[in-house]
Amino acid sequence: MGDVELAAELGLRSGHAEVNGTRLHYVTGGEGEPLVLLPGWPQTWWSYHRILPKLARRRVIAVDLRGMGGSDKPVMGYDKKTMAGDVHELIRHLGHEKADVAGHDIGAMVAFSLAANHPESVNKIALLDVPHPSDSFHELRVLGPNALWWFAFNQLTTLPAQLLAGRARLLVDHMIERLALDPAAIPDRDRAIYAAAYDTEEAITAGNRWYQAFERDIEDLRSYDKVTTPVLGLLAPWAAPAVEAAITRAATDVRIRVIPDSGHFLAEERPEQVLAEFEEFFG
């Protein structure tokens, strides 16, 4: 089932826009003030499907980032500053001056960069479980049961695509089983949708490039003033202390909420709690 059919299943519509030198896919519905949703790796806009219909009481726009799903997968532009420029132009392309923005994982990094580089386009931002890359990334564990092995794996330039092309379901299942507190919250159908989006060499390589740009992202963060846009950090308990510290170092107006009994995939594992926090924060 393609994006058009999946969007229609939720009462939404699928579209594309040429922005910032690339072509982005998005799903949208509702009317009024816009809320932009940015997903993470290894997922797509579908990661918000459990909350999208209720969020569509206002205008909601779920975006496949550069390199993801139905969006283009160019060779360049995977630093979060450039990706934030994609979203900035998409907001304007869709007829809005400003938007609320929520991002998960890689999408959270882009959401923060959007507030840092285009504050005139953003009302408030929510960061789900991940901060913008910073010098603290150099201290992440590579050994032990909680090692973030995929940060190093995605730095490789050819091996990931050689290993995973046609086998992306293995990666999707591994990441969900490892990072979800309730893996059953992401059932077979959803996993198959994500695997189909990452099953080619081109798609795997594009996902690698988000990680390969981290050094550039860290350097960019050093040049930013503290973000003054209101920030909501929605965090899983396992990540809360480190992620809260990273967010509060980089922003001045921060509200932190820990979602109990959840792993990394907050919007799928605990959709009602995420929805309630969004409604309270964004209004």
CA gap 61, 38 in Å, rounded: 9
Per-residue pLDDT at 209 exceeds 90: yes
99 within some domain: yes
pLDDT computed for residue 1 by the predictor: 81
90 within some domain: yes
88 within some domain: yes
Average pLDDT over residues 251-279: 97
Give the tokens for residue 61.
């726009």
CATH number of the domain bearing residue 233: 3.40.50.1820
pLDDT computed for residue 163 by the predictor: 97
Active site residue 105: yes
51 within some domain: yes
Identity of the residue numbered 189: R
Total domains in the chain come to 1
pLDDT computed for residue 141 by the predictor: 84
Per-residue pLDDT at 98 exceeds 90: yes
* DSSP-derived secondary structure letter, 251: B
Q: Is 76 helix (H, G, I), strand (E, B) or coil?
A: coil
Instruction: Tell me the DSSP string of 12-56.
Output: -EEEEEEETTEEEEEEEE--SSEEEEE--TT--GGGGTTTHHHHT
Per-residue pLDDT at 118 exceeds 90: yes
227 within some domain: yes
Active site residue 194: no
Please pick, among 3, 64, 100, 105, the residue that the annotation labels catalytic.
105
How far is the CA of 254 from the CAs of 22, 61, 185, in angstroms?
A: 32, 24, 29
163 within some domain: no
The 10s digit of each residue's pLDDT in 150-184 is 999 999 999 999 999 999 999 999 999 999 999 99
72 within some domain: yes
Where in the sequence is the domain holding 39, given as residue range(s)? Answer: 3-135+215-282
- What does residue 53 show for φ and ψ, rounded to 5 degrees? -60, -40
Round the CA-based radius of gyration of the chain to a whole number and report it.
17
Active site residue 211: yes
What pTM value is reported for the model? 0.98
The 10s digit of each residue's pLDDT in 216-257 is 999 999 999 999 999 999 999 988 899 999 999 999 999 999
CA gap 106, 103 in Å, rounded: 7
How far is the CA of 199 from the CAs of 6, 22, 69, 163, in angstroms?
A: 18, 21, 10, 11
Residue keyed to tokens 């994609």: 86
152 within some domain: no
